[in-house]
């Protein structure tokens, strides 16, 4: 069983790359960020912000996430939240969950269980994947990109374009969250043995091919 771990901040192309690599290899795909988003959605809907209460929500929730790169979904207590967790309000409040250490530990244990149970292989993406969640992964990659590139990509994703207004509306969503998350996670610099892949000036196909070659070289 092979594990491919991909770290990195917002807007570097982690999700699209991880999904395509999983498809090409016939592996499962785990979006750890979606798990935090789902729990943030739950806390928002229940008006929960206190760390003790956040932990209680995480422990008590029935969180289900698809491991298919083609039929991805996330549900909480049998409610499909796949679309809702991508909204701006959830994005701005993920730290409500990710900033609570005990809640992170609960979710990390769930993530490790998914990885261990993968039959053939799995591509895992998010933050702290190469250092905390799967430090013994066969392939460990930190995807990066210049800030202006990341913000423009996320603006297109959220607003449909990257004009000045969209960029301004997206700036804090990207760099602001990075600043918050860097207090509890390490995803901006590669640890020893982690391959740094800068996606600023290469296209999607080149990124995917680079990852596939790293997997091939590890076997």
The span from the CA of 117 to the CA of 180, in Å, is: 32
Domains and CATH numbers, the chain: 2-218 (3.40.50.300)
Binding-site annotation: residue ranges for ATP? 8-16
pLDDT tens digits along 7-48: 998 889 899 999 999 999 999 999 999 999 999 999 999 999
Residue 167 CB contacts under 8 Å (≥ 6 apart), including other chains: 151, 152, 155
The span from the CA of 214 to the CA of 219, in Å, is: 9
Q: How crowded is residue 179: how many other Cβ atoms within 10 Å of its Cβ? A: 11
Binding-site annotation: residue ranges? 8-16
Q: Greatest CA span in the chain, whole angstroms?
A: 48
Contact 7, 126 (CB under 8 A): yes
Q: What is the pLDDT of residue 106?
A: 97
pLDDT tens digits along 53-108: 999 999 999 999 999 999 999 999 999 999 999 988 998 899 999 999 999 999 99
Pair of tokens at residue 160:
């449909």
Q: What is the pLDDT of residue 180?
A: 57
SS3 24: helix
């Amino acid at each position: 069983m092979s594990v491919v771990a991909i770290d990195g901040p917002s807007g570097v192309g982690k999700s699209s790359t991880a999904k395509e690599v999983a498809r090409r290899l016939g592996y499962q795909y785990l979006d750890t960020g979606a798990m935090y988003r789902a729990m943030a959605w739950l806390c928002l809907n229940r008006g929960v912000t206190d760390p003790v209460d956040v932990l209680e929500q995480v422990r008590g929730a029935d969180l289900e996430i698809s491991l298919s790169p083609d039929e991805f979904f996330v549900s909480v207590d049998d409610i499909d939240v796949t679309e809702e967790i991508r909204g701006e309000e959830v994005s701005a409040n993920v730290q409500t969950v990710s900033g609570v250490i005990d809640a992170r530990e609960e979710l990390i244990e769930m993530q490790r269980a998914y990885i261990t149970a993968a039959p053939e292989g799995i591509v895992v993406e998010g933050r702290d994947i190469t250092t905390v969640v799967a430090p013994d992964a066969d392939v460990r990659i930190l995807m990066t990109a210049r800030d202006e590139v990341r913000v423009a990509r996320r603006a297109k994703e959220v607003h449909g374009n990257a004009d000045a207004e969209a960029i301004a509306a997206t700036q804090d969503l990207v760099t602001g969250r990075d600043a918050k998350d860097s207090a509890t996670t390490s995803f901006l610099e590669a640890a020893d043995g982690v391959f740094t892949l800068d996606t600023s000036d290469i296209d999607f196909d080149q990124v995917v091919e680079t990852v596939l070659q790293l997997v091939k070289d590890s076997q």
